Amino acid sequence: MANLRQTQQLKQALKLTPNQILVQKLLLLPVPLMEQRIKEEIENNPALEDISEPLDEPKDEVSDNLDDDFEKGNTDDDFDAEEFMEENDEYVPAYKLSSDNYAAEQETRESSFADSSSFQDSLHFQLGLKDHLNERQQMLGEYIIGNIDEDGYLRRDLYSISNDITFQQNILTDEKELEPLLQIIQEFDPPGVGARDLRECLLIQLKREEHKNETQKLAIEILEKGFEEFTRKNYDKLKDILKVDDSKLREAVNEIIKLNPKPGQAFADAAASSTQVVPDFVIANSEGELEASINGRISSNLRLSPLYLEMSERKKGMDKMEREAATFAKTKTEAAGSFINAIKQREDTLQRVMQTILYYQHDYFASGDESKLKPMLLKDIAKEIGLDISTISRVVSSKYVQTNFGTFLLKTLFSESFQKESGEEVSINEVKNLIQEIISAEDKKKPINDDALVSLLEEKGYKVARRTVAKYREQLGIPVARMRKEI
């Protein structure tokens, strides 16, 4: 038998309390999600109250009269049915006693609401309108639609889809049966849906025009005979293939550019445009005096329920059921108190971080000039406030700040520094803005390549490597020089 021994060890460990964990979670939430989180907590914890909303419903006149009757001692025993019928002897129309409670000539008004259907729902609905399709064709069409992605493309070939239907649905089919159904789906809205590649998508949109002009006919010819040259912007070869001049080619190319390369995204864009951005911070500029504030002081609207506080503090003269109720009230009251304290700590942290950012970027917030945006890192703010970098990251994540010159994500203010040849440190955003300006002003017939950008930046005192210029250009969403070329 092994000898048993007792040992003593001294260890140092960092542990977060439940309240600290709650604060860190709340820091991540922007205003809309924070409001939703508070509503959920109020619903789950009766000891938490929102005093910004009326707690008691206003009594109407009937309720007041009933209260007076009870105070005077009048009860149901004093109720006289005959007197009631005599005093309310007016005629009641038969239609008001029916189930719908409406007369034939009485106007009815119904509340309407908008329903935003998804992209897939729209395609299924349009398929259902095709009365000439039998049940089997409807089912096969539904399966094809299920394989169309959010961009509106059918990325899988019909052979693979037919195999899936055979093995999964036990329905024998092939490409010859699916092809006509796909052509029907390609007639649906938005134009271009159901295409198998970009070329087919653009052709579907162009061919939907019943009366095509010469420019549209030439655009179709470009896609059918010279699509590869078009994607490479090899306009000289396109002119040789189509035997056209610069003017006609330019008009046809512009006709193609106007088309939608991702028809399915029309639904996503509509949903995104209806989304309202709620700022978490507001920077007010009053005659040069800047003031940062949080959008809404949430903690000041919350309180502990007086009823639950009273129940939790009772100690004497209680039976078993009352003691259980008091324990329940105490548990809920402590949880509500911790939640309110966590929100207060969240607001305090948000305010401190925003004040520090305002201090760093005072000139930018005062003028709105991006050239005055200083290089700033998360560790700079963390060091100034005395908090961990992860805490600062949670604060700036998904948070918006509202200013006199616009509303934008707080994290866009953070950028690394770039040292000019003069030794001055500037934000890399300044270099990106300069690249954007140079490319915007270039001759589109002879766009500037990355090597030329390096030389132009060096002339302005910014010595940047070609690889870095290419990285900044890609971050700005600007294609290479060859793809920016115009006729």
SS3 state of residue 281 = strand
pLDDT, one tens digit per residue, over 121-135 is 899 999 999 989 999
Pair (421, 382) in one structural domain: no
Pair (395, 468) in one structural domain: no
Domain boundaries, position 292: 281-413
Cα–Cα distance for residue pair 89/97, rounded to 1 Å: 16
Cα–Cα distance for residue pair 424/403, rounded to 1 Å: 28
pLDDT of residue 317: 67
Query: Is 78 a domain residue?
Result: no
Cα–Cα distance for residue pair 363/370, rounded to 1 Å: 10
- Amino acid identity at 357: I
Q: Are 356 and 384 in contact (CB under 8 A)?
A: yes
pLDDT of residue 315: 67
Regions of the chain where pLDDT drops below 70:
1-2, 13-14, 53-117, 268-275, 297-299, 315-317, 423
Cα–Cα distance for residue pair 390/353, rounded to 1 Å: 13
Pair (179, 144) in one structural domain: yes
pLDDT of residue 206: 93
Tokens 């920077």 appear where?
283
CATH of the domain at 446: 1.10.10.60
Query: Is 64 a domain residue?
Result: no
Pair (364, 476) in one structural domain: no
Phi, psi for 426 (deg, rounded to 5): -130, 165
Would strands 281-286 and 400-403 be described as parallel, antiparallel, or unpaired?
A: parallel
pLDDT of residue 331: 92
Query: Is 149 a domain residue?
Result: yes
Q: Which of 154, 175, 196 is the last residue of a domain?
A: 196
pLDDT of residue 369: 83
pLDDT of residue 477: 87
Pair (294, 367) in one structural domain: yes
Query: Is 474 a domain residue?
Result: yes
Query: Is 403 a domain residue?
Result: yes
Cα–Cα distance for residue pair 219/253, rounded to 1 Å: 7
Pair (162, 232) in one structural domain: no
pLDDT of residue 176: 93
Pair (224, 291) in one structural domain: no
Pair (231, 354) in one structural domain: no
User: What total of structural domains would you count in the chain?
Assistant: 4
Across the chain, mean pLDDT equals: 81
Query: Is 20 a domain residue?
Result: no
pLDDT of residue 99: 40
Cα–Cα distance for residue pair 373/428, rounded to 1 Å: 10
Pair (255, 216) in one structural domain: yes
Pair (290, 337) in one structural domain: yes
CATH of the domain at 171: 1.10.10
Pair (171, 206) in one structural domain: no
Q: What is the pTM of this model?
A: 0.56
Note the Cα 155 to chain centre separation in Å.
Answer: 26
pLDDT of residue 97: 43
Give strand pairing partners of 415: 376
Pair (326, 236) in one structural domain: no
pLDDT of residue 211: 80
Distances (CA, A) of 119 to 37, 77, 149, 194, 273: 30, 64, 9, 12, 16
Tokens 């971080």 appear where?
353
**Token couple for 435:** 């690249």
Query: Is 182 a domain residue?
Result: yes
Q: Which of 196, 219, 244 is the last residue of a domain?
A: 196
pLDDT of residue 272: 56
Query: Is 445 a domain residue?
Result: yes
